[in-house]
Amino acid sequence: MAPIRDRITVIDRVYHQRLGEEAQEFPCTFSRELETTEQPYTRQLVATEEWKPLDHGWIERVGMLIVVNQEGRFLQTNPSKEQKDEAAKKILELQYEGSAWSWLIPPGESFRGMPGDITNLLIRSRSGTIKFTVHVLPI
pLDDT tens string 56-112: 999 999 999 999 999 987 666 788 888 889 899 999 999 999 999 999 999 999 999
Residue 42 belongs to a domain? yes
CATH number, domain of 108, equals: 2.60.120.10
- Range of the structural domain that residue 60 is part of: 35-138
Query: What sign does the CA torsion over 69, 75, 81, 82 have?
Result: negative
Residue 39 belongs to a domain? yes
Residue 75 belongs to a domain? yes
Q: With beta carbons less than 8 A apart as the criterion, state whether 125 and 49 touch.
A: yes
Residue 63 belongs to a domain? yes
Residue 13 belongs to a domain? no
pLDDT at 90: 97
- Of the pLDDT bands very low, low, confident and very high (cuts 50, 70, 90), residue 50 is very high
pLDDT at 75: 63
Residue 16 belongs to a domain? no
Residue 27 belongs to a domain? no
Residue 70 belongs to a domain? yes
Give the chain's domain count.
Answer: 1
Q: pLDDT tens, 1-45?
A: 777 899 999 999 999 999 999 999 999 999 999 999 999 999 999
Q: With beta carbons less than 8 A apart as the criterion, state whether 135 and 57 touch.
A: no
d(CA 104, CA 70): 14
d(CA 8, CA 37): 11
pLDDT at 77: 75
